[in-house]
Amino acid sequence: MSDCCIPRENLASGYDLAVVGAGSAGFSAAITAAEQGARVALIGHGTIGGTCVNVGCVPSKTMIRAAEALHGANAARRFPGLVGEAHVADWKQLVAAKDDLVGTLRQRKYIDLLPEYSGVAYLEGSVRFNGGGLLVNGGAVGADKIVIATGSSPALPDIPGIGDVPYLTSTTALELTDLPRSLLVIGGGYIGCELAQMFARAGTEVTLVTRSRLVPGAEPEISGALTGFLRDEGVVVRTGLTYRRIAGTDDGVVLTVETKGEKETIRAQHVLLTTGRTPNTRDLGLTGAGIELTPEGGVSVDDRMRTTRAGAYAAGDVTGRDQFVYMAAYGAKLAALNALNGDSLVYDNSAMPWVVFTDPQIAGAGLTEAAAREAGYETKISIVPLDQVPRALAARDTRGLIKLVADAKTDRLLGGQILAPEGADSIQTLVLALKHEMTATALGATIFPYLTTVEGLKLAAQSFGKDVTKLSCCAG
């Protein structure tokens, strides 16, 4: 047990709630319960803080921002009369700065918080359910209710030979102290796209391969546009592939793929696997304790965050759904409140925002066009390219588009996605519109500030009924 993690002496050995996992979800559950006056055992194993602060959101996004700074300088020539240039002068120093940021946030947002909650005891060690209760390092921990929040880990793709080659994950790739000469990224989800672009902008030769298309959860128009933008920056993007085998070479790795019956090989110094994440349920003894798992290995929960064992709840990545840190914290808060107060709160992700931190960024909320049709809606759509948004014209960067989906019968907005350099900071407006069941007409009539990216949502809403190319500035 580390110095930061000494249980409060005034706590009894029995707890109202035991929270297994000390990442964002675990801390959310523990703090919520403590604020309810509960006695809480927060149980961690490994580095405190979990995925987001240590190896996920924080380190990746600061490195992505650094790469954006490089690209921004080199792209300055899009403005007449400007020439810019930037390059990586010291990769080790950049990585060290990333590590310093991670350490600072871990200290401030996790370790330093523990003394602020006298009702929380931090226990550190391996956890196992023994059927009748909870064991930490082999010792019993008594708790009336339990929240499982053990997170997830990078998943290995089913490629013959993968276990015999040295590979990088989203964690270890950000620990490299030498910038790779070349990098093969396997997996076209948000992590693969973000890191492929980041390394390419830093000077690495990058090939990104995927079985389907980039960001499969995005609208096809947005996925296709992003593919083109990455290729414009020099990333080799290969989609619709079948992986046949991967093997090591004297200077890296070689992947054999097949497309339309034709085999070929792709070589690189390093391979980075970004093919999803696996819930951390192994070795916990969950099934023996009556806690059912999904076919993908996540803890099965209902809409109240309850598992199949009475008194046991789960939240966050360990459930295998909505793997975003803010949804983990939200679900864990509900789990703790339900555990203590009677299961009245329902998990609602109908207006959940999500973001891909490529450049341009992708952000979305609500239903896609395909999902809306599958749900039985008669849909209508609006697509506005960014060259119709004054902010993009002023910035001389019109990469992107906005797509909205609405119910054709009622005009109620059902969902939408944004592909824009500042798209992430605009999506919350759509979230609120969905949450309050606004119509496209109402959104189009709402006042928006001029020369902002979010104004594009107004234009997209207006374009359901009019040609926005024929509007003057601020018209409508």
Question: 138 by DSSP, 3-state: which?
Answer: coil
Do the Cβ atoms of 117 and 33 come closer than 8 Å?
A: no
* 192 is an annotated ligand-binding site residue: yes
Residues 6+ apart with CB under 8 A from 2: 124
Delimiting residues of CATH 3.50.50.60 domain(s) in the chain: 3-49+110-154+278-341, 162-275
pLDDT of 474 above 90: no
Residue 317 marked as a ligand binder:
yes
**CATH 3.50.50.60 fits domain 3-49+110-154+278-341:** yes
Fold of the 353-466 domain = Enolase-like; domain 1 (3.30.390)
Q: What is the pTM of this model?
A: 0.94
Residue ranges of the chain that CATH labels 3.30.390.30: 353-466
pLDDT in tens, 352-405: 999 999 999 999 999 999 999 999 999 999 999 999 999 999 999 999 999 999
The whole-angstrom separation of Cα 200 and Cα 232 is 11
Say whether 194 counts as a known binding-site residue: yes
Is 276 marked as binding a ligand?
yes
418 is an annotated ligand-binding site residue: no
- 441 membership: H or E segment, kind and range: helix 440-445
pLDDT of residue 9 exceeding 80: no
Tell me how far the alpha carbon of residue 186 is from its chain's centroid. 17
Q: For residue 338, what are its two tokens? A: 């339900």
Residue 251: CB atoms within 10 A of its CB come to 11
Could you tell me the fold of the domain covering 162-275?
FAD/NAD(P)-binding domain (3.50.50)
> Is 187 known as a binding-site position?
yes
Amino acid at residue number 337: L
**CB-based contacts of 132: which residues, under 8 Å, 6+ apart?**
none
How far apart CA 463 and CA 356 sit, in angstroms, is 25
Q: How far apart are CA 24 and CA 78, in angstroms?
A: 41
Specify whether the CB–CB gap between 142 and 299 falls below 8 A. Answer: no
Give the pLDDT confidence score for residue 476 in this predicted structure: 57
Could you give the CA distance from residue 261 to residue 354 in angstroms, rounded to a whole number? 36
Hey, is 243 helix, strand or coil? Answer: strand
Q: What is the pLDDT of residues 187-234, one digit of tens each?
A: 999 999 999 999 999 999 999 999 999 999 999 999 999 999 999 999
| pLDDT over 90 (residue 4) | no
Q: Give me 80's structure tokens.
A: 């007449």
Is 150 assigned to a binding site? yes
**Would you say 151 is a known binding-site residue?**
yes
Whether the CA torsion 408, 411, 417, 421 is positive or negative: it is positive
Identify the pLDDT of residue 228. 98
131 is in an annotated binding site: no
Q: What is the DSSP letter of 162?
A: G
pLDDT tens per residue across span 403-460 = 999 999 999 999 999 999 989 999 999 999 999 999 999 999 999 999 999 999 999 9
